Amino acid sequence: MIKNVLNGKEAYAVCLKEDFKAIGAIELKLNGHTDMTDRDDECEMGYWLGKPFWGRGIMPEAAREMLRHAFEDVGMTKVWCGYYDGNTKSKRVQEKVGFQFQWTTEGVDVPLMHEKRTGHVSAITKEEWLAKQ
Ligand SMILES: CC(C)(COP(=O)(O)OP(=O)(O)OC[C@H]1O[C@@H](n2cnc3c(N)ncnc32)[C@H](O)[C@@H]1OP(=O)(O)O)[C@@H](O)C(=O)NCCC(=O)NCCS
């Protein structure tokens, strides 16, 4: 995943605070590396966590910090995110950190899996994020 997918300029390892071992990754996919926007002040958030670490609220914590980083450090005005139909864990992460549902698209190409799926798109603006702080 880290080598092939989450490998851009704004990609980070997700580490446990106890031992700093990498257990996942999170990325802001900048313009040119996402099909969700063609603006330089918008990006897409993507994330992945090793299965033994699911269900502890780790990715919501990482995603909250990445939103702060996106808006305060990188100068973003909007962050997009998405999940494929059925991935309720990812849907919950997005809801918990403040992403708002935008629309659903049928038959989205998933090149790495050589298949088509239904995709749900969400987003949060800097104003919406600031109002939650
Ligand atoms: C999506 C993902 C990042 C969630 O991270 P996480 O740190 O486990 O997030 P949370 O601990 O907040 O769990 C999210 C929700 O899933 C539920 N959940 C977690 N592990 C679960 C499990 N093994 N079985 C069922 N539900 C589970 C949690 O209860 C939580 O729901 P709730 O808030 O309603 O209680 C992680 O599952 C993952 O990496 N999945 C594979 C990659 C992926 O799907 N990436 C996102 C692509 S859009």
User: Smallest Cα–Cα separation from 128: which of 67, 53, 85?
Assistant: 67
Radius of gyration of the chain (CA): 14
Least confident stretch, 6-10, 25-29, 61-65? 6-10
Cβ 25 under 6 angstroms from ligand 1: no
Instruction: Provide the residue range defining the domain that includes 31.
Output: 11-131
Q: Directed axis angle between helix 58-68 and helix 88-97, to 10°?
A: 50
- On whether residue 31 sits in a domain, the answer given is yes
Q: What is the mean pLDDT of residues 86-103?
A: 98
pLDDT digits (tens, 9 = 90+) for 34-48: 999 999 999 999 999
**Which CATH number do you get for residue 62?**
3.40.630.30
Q: What is the mean pLDDT of residues 67-77?
A: 98
What pLDDT sits at residue 86?
Answer: 96
- On whether residue 16 sits in a domain, the answer given is yes
- On whether residue 3 sits in a domain, the answer given is no
Kindly indicate the confidence band of residue 14, based on its pLDDT and cuts at 50, 70 and 90. Answer: very high
- On whether residue 99 sits in a domain, the answer given is yes
Cβ 79 under 6 angstroms from ligand 1: no
Q: Distance (Å, rounded) from C-alpha 19 to C-alpha 32?
A: 35
Q: What is the mean pLDDT of residues 89-95?
A: 98
- On whether residue 4 sits in a domain, the answer given is no
- On whether residue 2 sits in a domain, the answer given is no
Kindly indicate the confidence band of residue 130, based on its pLDDT and cuts at 50, 70 and 90. Answer: very high
Three-class SS state of 34: coil
Å from CA of 54 to ligand 1 middle: 6
DSSP state at residue 8: S
- On whether residue 57 sits in a domain, the answer given is yes
- On whether residue 86 sits in a domain, the answer given is yes
Dihedral of the alpha carbons of 17, 8, 83, 87, in degrees to the nearest 10: -50
Task: Give the residues across from 83 on adjacent strands.
Answer: 120
Cβ 48 under 6 angstroms from ligand 1: yes
What pLDDT sits at residue 1?
Answer: 72
Cβ 61 under 6 angstroms from ligand 1: no
What pLDDT sits at residue 115?
Answer: 95
User: Smallest Cα–Cα separation from 5: which of 87, 110, 129, 122?
Assistant: 110
Cβ 54 under 6 angstroms from ligand 1: yes
Å from CA of 25 to ligand 1 middle: 14
Total domains in the chain come to 1
User: Smallest Cα–Cα separation from 126: which of 81, 70, 83?
Assistant: 70
Residue of 54, 64, 83, 87 to mutate, ligand 1, most atoms within 8 A of C-beta? 54
Cβ 94 under 6 angstroms from ligand 1: no
Phi-psi region of 42 (alpha: psi -120 to 50; beta: other; left: phi over 0): beta
